[in-house]
C-alpha cells in the first residue's frame, strides 16, 4: 500500500514537473516573440555638413512594429555650431490620431537652451479613442535649426521612451544618433 502511494506520488510529481516545464517553455516562447519586436528612434538629417547662416531641419523618426500611443525624447547639440529655433510636432502620431477619432497632446512643451545646446524633453501622446495604436515609421518631431558656423552637426538624442497602446514603455528601444 505504501509502495503504491509512492508510485502515485512520483507520477503526480513527474506530471507536475512536466506541466511546469511546458508552462515555462510557453512563457519563454512568448517572451522571445515580444523581444523580436523592433522599435527604434533615430535622427534624420539629410546632410550633417552645415554652413554658417544655413537653416535646416532635423527630424526625429520612430520605426516600430508595436502599436504605440506616445513617445518622448530630448536633444543635445553643439551650441557653437548651431542654434535651435523651434520644435514642431511630427505626423507619426497626429495622422493616426486624426484617422481614428483621437487627438494628440504635446507635453511638456520643450524648452530650448541654445547657450547649453539642449532642448528639454518633448513628449507626444495620443489622447482618446477606443484603443489601438500606430505602427510603422514616421516623424515624431522636427527641430528647426540655424547654423552658426561651418562644421559637421552631431546632435544626440537622450531620455528616449516609446509607450505601447497601454501606456507602458516598450523595452529595448534602439536609439540611432
Q: What is the pLDDT of residues 94-123, one digit of tens each?
A: 999 999 999 999 999 999 999 999 999 999
Residues in the chain: 177
pTM across the whole model: 0.78
Q: Give the pLDDT band of residue 19 (cuts 50, 70, 90).
A: very low
The DSSP secondary-structure symbol of 168 reads P
Select from 2.60.40.1730, 3.40.50.300, 3.40.50.720, 2.60.40.680 the CATH code of 39-176.
2.60.40.680
Quickly list DSSP for 148-164.
SSSEE---EEEEEEEEE
Q: Which residue has better confidence, 37 or 51?
A: 51
Which secondary structure element, helix H or strand E, spans residue 61, and what is its range? strand 55-76
In this structure, how many other beta carbons lie within 10 angstroms of the beta carbon of residue 4? 8
Q: Classify the C-alpha dihedral 42-48-51-55 as positive or negative.
A: negative
Interior angle at CA 111, CA 109 and CA 117, nearest 5: 145
All structural domains of the chain with their residue ranges = 1-36, 39-176
Amino acid at each position: 500500500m505504501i509502495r503504491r502511494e509512492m508510485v502515485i506520488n512520483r507520477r503526480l510529481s513527474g506530471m507536475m514537473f512536466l506541466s511546469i516545464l511546458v508552462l515555462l517553455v510557453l512563457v519563454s516562447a512568448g517572451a522571445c516573440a515580444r523581444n523580436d519586436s523592433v522599435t527604434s528612434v533615430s535622427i534624420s538629417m539629410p546632410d550633417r555638413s552645415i554652413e554658417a547662416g544655413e537653416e535646416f531641419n532635423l527630424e526625429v523618426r520612430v520605426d516600430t512594429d508595436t502599436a504605440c500611443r506616445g513617445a518622448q525624447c530630448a536633444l543635445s547639440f553643439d551650441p557653437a555650431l548651431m542654434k535651435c529655433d523651434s520644435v514642431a510636432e511630427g505626423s507619426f502620431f497626429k495622422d493616426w490620431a486624426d484617422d481614428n477619432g483621437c487627438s494628440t497632446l504635446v507635453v511638456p512643451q520643450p524648452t530650448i537652451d541654445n547657450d547649453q545646446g539642449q532642448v528639454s524633453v518633448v513628449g507626444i501622446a495620443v489622447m482618446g479613442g477606443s484603443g489601438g495604436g500606430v505602427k510603422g515609421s514616421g516623424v515624431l518631431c522636427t527641430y528647426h535649426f540655424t547654423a552658426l558656423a561651418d562644421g559637421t552637426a552631431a546632435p544626440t538624442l537622450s531620455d528616449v521612451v516609446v509607450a505601447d497602446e497601454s501606456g507602458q514603455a516598450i523595452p529595448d528601444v534602439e536609439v540611432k544618433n
